[in-house]
Structure 1
Amino acid sequence: MTRLSGLSLTFLLALSPLSSASAEELCVGFGPQTPRDISSKEGLNTAAVSLAPGADNLNLCNLHTHTNAEHKAPGFSIFAGDGDHGGYKCNGTEDLTEAELAEPEGDAYHGVKPGDTIEVHWVYSSCNVQPGEGLGSCLSESCSNPQLRVEAQTFLVVNDKNALNFLDFDYDGTVRNGLHQPKALPSGTGDPVTFIGSTTGTSYTDAKCSPFQVTWNVRPQCAKLDINSLNAWAEQGNVFKEDHSHGVRKLVTAPELLAPITN
């Protein structure tokens, strides 16, 4: 989840005491940070932040992807290296067939190819907003301090039209009970792990924290996704104006920057 560039929100931030690192090494005075290893429940940052309502009770405001998983989990634990596209790969990456790795006819969704891992973020807001470009679409002048939620699913991208179709998880004007919603969210990839964190993306580090507090719901296993459907999503155009996959923030491991996971 990339940062809310140029926007200012007012949050209740708690200062967690440093136990194993100095103030020069870690940003302090912020709420819990993201991404994290969801297999570990450890965390010392106990900022007073309430969990956001469930996705069905919020407006979908943005949908985007990151190349490689920002989080680490049982199903995506292969370190992909440093840099903008670091993060983690799905465990089944090395087991793909030649057919699954074949280049597709088009590449409308730039920078993603068969064999890549992507983490998809469905971002929700308590504001009365419509889905749009960037995370600025998640707030408005009358709602500058929303509750934010991200539903996250990591996919292993393959050239196989029998794999999951990204268009099944798009917004495409779907409204349920007066709220903007995706057509569906992925299922069958394990019980999501819920925790308090922050926005992500390459702008933030352990020394430069995100001030935005987010309820995360991260599914622990990968699923295969057809690259042709991802290209179709970009080629036909989407309200989010997404045409490429974003970089990742380095995994946060300092307990002082993580909330304890209780579920």
Structure 2
Amino acid sequence: MNRYLSALSLTLAGLCAATSAHAEDLCLGFGPQTPRDIGLRVGMNPRSFSPAPAPDNMNLCNLHTHTNAEHKGPGFSIYAGDGENGGYQCNETATLSASELKDPAGGHGAFHGVKPGDTIEVHWVFTSCDVSPGPGLGACSSAACANPQLRVEAQAFLVVNDPSALDFTEFAKVTVGPNGRFQPTALPTGTGTPVLFAGSTTGPQYTEATCSPLQVTWNVRPNCARLDISSLNRWVAEENVFEEEHSHGVRQLVTAPELLSSIN
């Protein structure tokens, strides 16, 4: 019995040491982090902040894409690998036809880093600041508004060669809403009830050991939609105000409960 208890004590000590070592690798003390698996609602990050208003009560300040999806969701759950070129792919990726996978620009499209068959995650970034849309997240704040509330509306798209698929320019044009705030002409619908949660900014410069300090209200749609590759190239050719001409890398999925918010 004593021998058994000694072995059990050593095992428990090893587990505690492993947990402690894991915790030491995490950037604890920051607010909830993103991206995450939106199908899992558990989170243990104790820091909270007030949710950002609805998009129509904020200014659209930036729009950009990531290849592949940074989040994992019911409709984009195929693991594409680690590193900034990893992430997740839409579940229908393997079912595309040769025609849908043909690149009409022969690899020379104006929007770089995306080809038919790829998954992209699009982020519409909204701010509480009185600013105009522009390039990068720097467009979301100003000298007079250095600590804005931020909100991101996110949608994963399966990029295809199909003119009957969705036209990206219909979601990327900027208009002025009835209350005088900058808005996209439309946000995607029909891809499931978005999952709302507290998180951070993303991008490959952040990891579970290097956290983003910014607080962001996220609203991520759970299913993919098909998007025509040619419409991405048209968006660039129309000289978009965001000055985007390529798709960005991903931040790997945040899985440590200590870094995630709980989802109601």
SS in 2 for 1:124: strand
Confirm or deny: 8 A CA contact 2:174 2:182 kept in the other structure.
Answer: no
Q: Deviations over 1:11-49 (max 9, x none)?
A: xxxxxxxx9454421011100000000000010012121
Aligned length: 244
Residue aligning to 1:4: none
Identity value in percent: 65
Match of 2:216 among 198, 214, 217: 214
Q: Which has the higher helix share?
A: 2
Residue aligning to 2:238: 236
- Higher-Rg member (1/2): 2
Aligned AA (1:29): G
Q: Deviations over 1:148-184 (max 9, x none)?
A: 0000000000000000000000133444420000000
Mark the runs of 5 or more structure 2 residues left unpaired by the alignment: 1-17
Task: Note the 1:32-181 alignment, pairs <5 A.
Answer: 32-105=32-105, 106-181=108-183
Residue aligning to 1:202: 204
Residue aligning to 1:246: 248
Residue aligning to 1:192: 194
Aligned AA (2:260): L
Residue aligning to 2:6: none
- CA-atom RMSD in angstroms: 1.2
Mark the runs of 5 or more structure 1 residues left unpaired by the alignment: 1-18
Aligned AA (1:163): A
Confirm or deny: 8 A CA contact 2:44 2:257 kept in the other structure.
Answer: yes
SS in 2 for 1:24: helix
**Structure 1 residue ranges (4+ consecutive) displaced by more than 2 angstroms after TM superposition:** 19-24, 171-176
TM-score (norm 1): 0.90
Distance 1:137 1:21, change over 3 A: farther
Q: Deviations over 1:82-102 (max 9, x none)?
A: 121100000000001111111
Bigger shift: residues 99-108 or 117-126: 99-108
Distance 1:214 1:21, change over 3 A: farther
